[in-house]
Structure 1
Amino acid sequence: MPSDLRPRARFRRWRRGRPFWGGFAAVLAGAWICSLPLAPLKVMLTQGVAGIPSVLMGLVMIVLGLSVWFAPHYRSLAGVVTTLISVAALVLSNLGGFLIGTLLGILGGGLMFAWQPGPAAPAPAPSPTPQHPSPQGAQP
């Protein structure tokens, strides 16, 4: 058995217990939206304060994507807010990262919102107990 199988299986189990791919898409979208206004200083000075909403929206999307990895019970709120920020980035941030960030954000938000936890491990079946008659002898 290869030695990397055990950590890989642990990661797979961890990944399946949370909306991993939705969070991953949200982190990518946030990074994409956040990185576009971070141009060289000469371009940033020309752009002015217009780059601030892009950076803030990108950072919030990254935080939301990471939050569903480590706190999956916030998946509904994070999914809705990620989708709303992605649509707002379409207007406020260079067409939402030239549409790539917006599309990734909408996809990630939808995946986060739609994710449901898997079924828990089945409980052990109860052992069959013999049916004893009533000790008082009463008939039903």
Structure 2
Amino acid sequence: MSNEYQESQISWIKKRPFKGSLLLFLSGLIILFIPISMIPVALMPGSFSILGIVFGGLVVLLGILGFTFPDQSSIIGVLAIFFACLSLIGALGGFLIGTLLGIIGGAYCFAWKAPANPDPAPRKQRKVS
């Protein structure tokens, strides 16, 4: 791998809430594990397992959105914490591990701040006459 490629990857990671989005993505997959493994039961009328599929899918989606829309990371973080906590209803929170990872990932996304852009070369001011 070339040095330029590594530098571009590092700069891409620094411009996004990488840790939080990755934890949200993994949390959503863990939350989805239980309802997907019980898919015949989840499709029965009156089953709450379908909520686990919905909430787990939303947490995965929020993890992907964290990568693609870093400017909205605070909203993504709050929604992710909300849906990770609600996943306890339909998916047991992915054995509670998924919920904890979702809360931590959501907190990382909420707390992430975009790096300050270094000031480019000062612009010359034109004289107004």
Please tell me the TM-score bracket, short chain as reference: 0.7 to 0.9
Aligned to 2:16: 18
Aligned to 1:51: 49
CA–CA separation in structure 1 for the residues paired with 2:41 and 2:29: 22
Offset of residue 123 of structure 1: 3.1
Aligned to 1:101: 98
Aligned to 1:121: 118
- On the 8 A contact 2:48/2:89 being kept in 1, the answer is no
How many residues are paired up?
A: 121
The DSSP-based 3-state class of the residue aligned with 1:89 is helix
CA–CA separation in structure 2 for the residues paired with 1:66 and 1:11: 17
Cα RMSD for the two superposed structures: 1.8
Residues 1-140 of structure 1 aligned to structure 2 (within 5 Å): 3-39=1-37, 43-46=38-41, 48=44, 49-94=47-92, 96-125=93-122
With over 3 angstroms needed to count, the CA separation of the structure-2 counterparts of 1:123 and 1:88, relative to structure 1, is same
Offset of residue 126 of structure 1: 6.4
CA–CA separation in structure 1 for the residues paired with 2:17 and 2:115: 11
CA–CA separation in structure 2 for the residues paired with 1:46 and 1:27: 25
**Percentage of pairs with the same residue:** 28
Offset of residue 31 of structure 1: 0.6
CA–CA separation in structure 1 for the residues paired with 2:22 and 2:7: 19
Superposition TM-score, scaled by structure 2 size: 0.84
The DSSP-based 3-state class of the residue aligned with 2:35 is coil
Amino acid in structure 1 at the alignment position of 2:40: L
Per-residue displacement from partner, 1:1-59 (whole Å, max 9, x unpaired)? Answer: xx4332222111100001011000000000110122222xxx54345333211111111
Offset of residue 91 of structure 1: 3.0
- Unaligned 5+ residue runs, structure 2? 125-129
Per-residue displacement from partner, 1:56-86 (whole Å, max 9, x unpaired)? Answer: 1111111111111111111111100000111
CA–CA separation in structure 1 for the residues paired with 2:7 and 2:27: 27
Higher Rg: 1
Amino acid in structure 1 at the alignment position of 2:96: L
